[in-house]
Amino acid sequence: MGYRRLGGWGLRASEISLGSNNFGTQVDRPLAIRVIDRALELGVNMIDTANVYTGGKSEEIIGEALKGRRDEVVVATKVGSPVVSNNPIGGGLSRKHIMWQFKKSLQRLQTDYVDIYYLHRFDPETPLEETLRTMDYLVREGFVRYVGVSNFDVKQLEATWRTCEELGLEKPIVLQPPYNLLRRDIEVEVAPWCESHGMGVAVYSPLQGGLLTGKYSLGAQPPEGSRAAYNPIYRERWLTAENLQRVEKYREVAGQLGVDLRELAVAWILSHRWVSTAIVGASNPAQVDENVKALEVNIPQSLLEKLDNQR
């Protein structure tokens, strides 16, 4: 396992982090704990979750799995997405909501601190100063080690950074955006901004919900139990003829390297120097092994250029 610093900061994360948004639903508690155990055995040191993942079950499972070894793992969770419908304080990034949900996350994770606390998405209805002063308080009191932001665009990053500098507040050290072979918009502005400001990038959705594992083919029905089989919104947005044709081209490149598509997709992400870690989920321990195998893949420059030309 390789480890990379989160931008210009001292925290080092495994190149593969464990995603957990399916813990407690598709992956039941005993199986999820086995997945976590296997990830830690292979050197994964960062586990990513959120207060809203599977209604809090994901955090609960992680807390149970990490008993006796909490300090050996970087635990990242998030706040901001709605947790209660029809409630004016049920979501967002107000001080009230952040403090409420942070307490809940600590209880579920069975810990007294969080390593990285992400703002899950930008909240245009709450003053940035209110949000950032609250996060700064959590860091200064020792409840949070580092602040992160997720799904922010460049304007939102700029505003956040400027507010922190003007007020002398703790700056975010890492951005969590979606990024994969089929979803590359952050390369234009976001990634260069993060690199120039020393901010780490922990990418999620590296396999685009399974589309880059090779399980879907043009003209074939989605496999039973797959995301596309039960999620029509995902199917309509991502299982397009254009995307499936691109996947076939990526599969050809993987074949030239003698690896599977999953390994190629993750290795390609990690070939970018500004990427700190790829957050990859797993439904069983064997998938953890498959994810980590991507670290053995070295993509020649000629094939990297070929992949770049197949946008």
179 is catalytic: no
Backbone phi, psi, residue 63, to 5°? -60, -40
Q: Which residues contact 104 (CB under 8 A, 6 or more apart)?
A: 51, 56
Q: What is the DSSP track for the chain?
A: --EEESTTSS-EEESEEEE-TTBTTTB-HHHHHHHHHHHHHTT--EEE--TTGGGGHHHHHHHHHTTT-GGGSEEEEEE-S-SSTT-TTSSSS-HHHHHHHHHHHHHHHT-S-EEEEEE-S--TTS-HHHHHHHHHHHHHTTSEEEEEEES--HHHHHHHHHHHHHHTPPPEEEEE-B-BTTB-GGGTTHHHHHHHTT-EEEEB-TTGGGGGGT---TTSPPPTTSHHHH-HHHHHHH--HHHHHHHHHHHHHHHHHTS-HHHHHHHHHHTSTT--EEEE--SSHHHHHHHHHGGG----HHHHHHHHTT-
Query: Which of the following is catalytic: 3, 53, 117, 216?
Result: 53
**Residues annotated as part of the active site:** 53
